[in-house]
Structure 1
Amino acid sequence: MARILILAALPEEADALFPASGRREAGPFALRHLIVHGHDLSIATCGLGKVNAALAAGLLGAEADLLLMSGTCGALGAAPGAYWLAEALQHDYGATHPGRFRRYRAGEWPMGEPAEAHFSAMPDPGLGLPHARIASGDSFVACPDAAADLTSLGATLVDMEVGAVAQAAARLGKPWAAIKAVTDEANGDSGGDFQANLIRAARLAATEVERLVATI
């Protein structure tokens, strides 16, 4: 039996996973516990942003065999749908120099020549989803210029949590995976589009996470 921690930033994203099932537990993070396909699952609503995501991963993930994240994201030119997040980086970690911002792998010294800044997920077990690199940071991106800057990092999706979960998993020595579905295009319409598409996209990502759990 694998012990799997599934993180979701928002209640709507957490509730979309294995809906109306499990035993609820109060605490710093809303939790549901359930047994699915022979695995011991804990579904946690961690809250928005990198600090919340990393704190939940650290507090709840120490005894887990695998850290997963489900939820929603913005698109940086990517088509609508759900994605297997093969790589994650933190776009707001680095060093500010005159006229430029240099990105480094989160947690490493932001000095000298930067190497690859991303964290790699566990191997895809064959879900058939498109793969993507996601850029995470503590800001909701609703600006085409900011979105264009993130595409220069090789990212096609943007969110506020996965990069932090990936860093926490690396520090804990745990494998991680994430599946997210697009709500908006990281532009001036993103606020309204996010609200309009949240429930649909959350369930789309959750459906794929449920398929993943069944394959493990």
Structure 2
Amino acid sequence: MSRILILAALPEEADALFPGEGVRTADGFAIRRLAVRGHALAVATCGLGKVHAALAAGLFGGDADLLLMSGTCGALDAEAGRAYWLAEAVQHDYGTVRPDRFDRYRAGEWPAGEVGEAHFAAMPDPGLGLPHARIASGDSFIACPDVAAGLVRGLGATLVDMEVGAVAQVAARLGKPWAAVKAVTDTADEGSSRDFHANLVRAARAAAMEVERLIAML
């Protein structure tokens, strides 16, 4: 039986996964454990931001065969309301501040010298049929079209969130595969906070349904 850790930042995102199933425990984080199609699943509500996500991934991912994230995100250059397979993740706030620019490096590596590729690659898509995206993660909620446009230009990112890049870094450190599916709540502009709250439950379930399909394929 394979062991899969599924992380979700918010209770609404975690509860949208296999709703009503499993046994709830508390190990510093709210966790729901269940068995689905020969997989032992632990659904952990990790909290917002890179530190929470990395802490939960590190604490509970050591004996997992796969680290998986489900939830919501903002659109930088992507279609509102869609769920996406996150093929690549990058931390947009990791790098070196210079007088005339901000150079980004792969999180965890020494931020100096020639700038190279900063992203982490997810496991191969097993055939969900979702559009692929690169997500930019950082400890700030993006509600500014100018900043959003800069992330598109500088990183080639199409989505933005606050956690996936950290989970990808932990997975790389642990030598484990990772995957993520997120659905769009907002368009990273002045109305994003309002749109996020209005669309949270719908988007969380949209992502969760695709994660449930993914589990059935593994």
The answer to whether the superposition gives a TM-score over 0.5 is yes
Counterpart residue identity of residue 16, structure 2: A
Deviation digits for residues 89-131 of structure 1, max 9, x if unmatched?
A: 0000000000210000000010001110000000000000000
Superposed CA RMSD:
0.4
Does structure 1 retain, via aligned residues, the 8 Å contact 2:77–2:157?
no
Partners of 2:66 and 2:60 in 1: CA distance:
11
Q: Which of the numbers 161, 164, 167 marks the counterpart of 1:165? A: 167
Match of 2:53? 53
After TM superposition, list the pairs within 5 Å mapping 1:16-165 onto structure 2. Answer: 16-80=16-80, 81-152=82-153, 153-165=155-167
Q: Structure 1, residues 168-189: CA drift from partner, whole Å, max 9, x if none?
A: 0000000000000000000000
Residue 27 of structure 1 deviates from its aligned partner by 2.2
TM-score (norm 2): 0.99
Letter of the structure 1 residue corresponding to residue 202 of structure 2? R
**What residue is the counterpart of 1:193 in the other structure?**
195
User: SS at the partner of 1:40?
Assistant: strand
User: What is the distance in 1 between the residues matched to 2:95 and 2:135?
Assistant: 16
- % identical aligned pairs: 76
Q: How many pairs were matched up?
A: 216
- Aligned to 1:63, the other structure's residue is in SS state coil
**5+ residue gaps in structure 1?**
none
TM-score, length basis structure 1: 0.99
